[in-house]
Structure 1
């Protein structure tokens, strides 16, 4: 079977969260905390055992855990200590979110990713009102930096980004990710997949969960979010790069997917990133 490796950049561009709450647990030895919602945790002191996920793990001071789904799990304090937690609410259920593992663990997170660790402490311990756009952006930045570090440090399991197993669809998805600005019609994608047009669209949706046109739009918006947040490229140039014939058409598609205009997204992303860095 042919498979497609989605780039780490695509995953980072597509992962978005809303801030849903925060906790600081001061635990005595033997104390339990039970959880059942997407969360990030950082152990500041002590030693805790995580149970209920795919494997039992022990987290020591400086370690990090991301649980992106709503799996029920518990932490058991093996020694007295302190654990910070940010509760998350996923924005959408796109392909990037489904690419994440059941749990993502990073040892020595505070040492290897100090900026993300500082943002985590600020969000839990100091930020007076984290609910709203700024809290959402900081929570997303923390998880994105953790995922990037997890991947760069070789902690990810082999081939974790391989998503599409249907041979012809895999070729079509690869082509779309390589050049999202191309005018990808169903006929053009079917030719890439060496398939008939009539059967291709149904096979594509069965393999990816989305019709070809909707998949392409989400891919373009995910790329646009990253361009807008991280570069100075004018909005019109971003639109043309991603295959839109006008800035107006791009703006409509972007707002339909994100709830923001491109200029609003850029402004909020820049302001939130700066606030997180400055503390």
Structure 2
């Protein structure tokens, strides 16, 4: 399948995962993120076991081979969650959402990957859209705080840690994508890489279960966690498409797929009936033009 179609599929499902994750997150549940890890790890683990059981070649060595990318992705995720203590929109900050551009630069300077002039223009439009959305979301958050009689997030604007966490997320997630491209190019096939990542996430889910249920004695009611399960299904489907898109054309696919945060705006408008500002519609249009250009190349 064409890398562009795979990238679109990844955007579709990851934006869905973003939406359902927000729907399933409960501000009064301090273990909500751990429960999300359990849901994603369980679904990914089931998918990995299914592939292996139906004859897909795989060995334990594949987990070790792909571990650098898995480790970086998971570390970025942990840092992203830790950053939430310092900024409510940490994952949506301009720095965090620039990881796709970081990956593209690494692929260009280290792997020697190239793109045509029109592809570069398309990628630039997508990156501008992602960055602009992040700035809009941050301003929107500050406005809501002021309307509610709260001050702007001083921890984010003044704390060194508030700068370090998003920066580390961006760099490590970008390195994870770069490691992905490098390993897929030279060491492991896409299907085996995906299974390795899914089994690694399953291990994380087991650790989360031990921490939340056994150590912290928290009860999990499946009927109340349906949004998390839907998010996990979307995350798994998106990851499957993502790894093949990155394997085929990492330098262009990485920044393009990072625009899933923009696509999630459309889901919010259609399903949650959230109103979008003119600036948000403009951002969507800019990114859409960039994606259309990439589809023509």
Give TM-score, length-normalised by structure 1: 0.26
Structure 1 or 2, whichever has the larger Rg, is: 1
The structure with the greater share of residues assigned to strand is 1
The structure with the greater share of residues assigned to helix is 2
Give TM-score, length-normalised by structure 2: 0.25
